[in-house]
Amino acid sequence: MELYGLNDNFTLIKTLRCTNIQWNRRYYEAGDFQLELLASDWDASIAYIYTHQRPETGMVQKIETEHTNKGDFVLVSGFFLEGMLNWKITHPKHSSTGNVCSACKGLVTSLMADTGVTAASEPDIGDSDSFDSENEPLGDAAYSALKKQELSQRIVFDYDTEMLLYSIWQGLDRTQNQSVNTYAAFAQNFGNIDDLKLTQDTSDMRNYAVVQYTLADADAFLELDLRAGSETKRILFIQSPVSQEEGQSDADYQAAVESDARTQMEEYEAVLNLDADVLQRNILYLTDYDLGDKCDIRDDRLGLAFEARIIEINEVWKNNEHKVGVQFGNRIPTAYRKGY
C-alpha cells in the first residue's frame, strides 16, 4: 500500500517507505494505524498519513524511537480522522427525534467547525429515532446512535479539494438472502479462511427491560421487549437517567427514555464474534467484500452458519507479505480482549 506523509496543512511532504504497516479499520468505532520505518526516512513535519487505496487517513499522534541491531527506527501511530470527533462533547445537551443521520450531521456542523470538517452534501439514509446525548464524546455518541441501524460514519480527506468530508454510510448486504449485490461467503471448506475463532456467549444477555422513569412527578414504567421469536425473557431493570425537558411533549420524552434504554441494553447483547484470517481465494478483499458488508460465514467444525456484518479489518504488511484479518458480528467485551 502506498502511503504519503502530509503536513498540518495537508501538503505532501514525501512518500513513506515502511518496514511494517498495521492498518486497523473499524465499522462502529474509530480505527487506528501503526507504522515502522527507518528513522532516516521520517520527517518530523508529517502530521497525517494519506493513501488513495483506502478511505481512511491517519493522524500522527504518537511517535516513538527504537534502536535495534538492524538500525534506528521510528514507530508512528494514531487514530484515523474519525478519532477527532471525540475531541468534542455533546454540550449543550442534544435531544432530537427524527432522522439520526441528519442529527449526526447537524452535530458535526455545529461542534466541529474549528476542525475544518464539513458534512458532505448527500441524501440522508436510515430511519427516524430519538437521539439524546449530554456531555459524551461526540464520536462515541454518534457511533452508538448509528449502530442501532447498522450504520457507520467516516471523515474522508479529499486530496483534490483538500476538504475533510463527514458522511454516514452503510456496508453492502452480500448474503444469499438478497439479489442486488454479489455474494460473499466464508468457510473453511471454501478455502478462503485459514483460521477461524468463534466466540458465542449469552451469559450476560438480557432481552427484556423494565424501565422506571418520572412522568408528572410520579413514577412511571416502560417495558421494552427485544426478544427474538420465542426466547425466554431475561429481564433487566433500568432506572432511567433521562428527565423531561421544558416544553417537551410526553410522547417525545417517552421516546427519549426508550432510546436511552435501548442504548443501555446494548451492553447486555449476546456476543457473537467470528475472527478469521482470510485468504484471497474465490473472493477478493476490496472487490468482493469490504468493511461493513454483511456476509455469510460458516464454522464447518461445528456445523454453524451465520449472517454477520464485518465490523473490523486488520491489515498487516511485513516482509513483502500482506495479511488480512476480519472480525464479524459484534465486539467481544473488553474483558475478553487481551491487551486492548
Alpha-carbon span 81 to 311, nearest angstrom: 18
Where are the chain's structural domains?
3-79, 84-169, 185-202+271-336, 208-268
CB contact at 8 A, 309 and 293: yes
Architecture of the domain made up of 84-169: 3-Layer(bab) Sandwich (3.55)
| Cα-based torsion angle of the residue sequence 193, 199, 200, 205 in order, rounded to the nearest 10 degrees | -140
Of 87, 244, 75, 202, residue with least CA distance to 155 = 87
Q: CB burial class (10 A; 0-12, 13-18, 19+) of residue 44? A: exposed
Number of neighbours of residue 176 by Cβ within 10 angstroms: 12
User: 185-202+271-336 maps to which CATH number?
Assistant: 2.40.30
CB contact at 8 A, 56 and 80: yes
Is there a shared CATH topology between the 84-169 domain and the 185-202+271-336 domain? no
Local mean pLDDT, 10-residue blocks, the chain (340 residues): 97 97 98 97 98 98 94 97 98 93 97 96 93 95 96 97 97 97 95 92 96 96 94 97 92 92 93 93 95 96 94 96 95 48
Q: What pLDDT shows up at residue 336?
A: 40
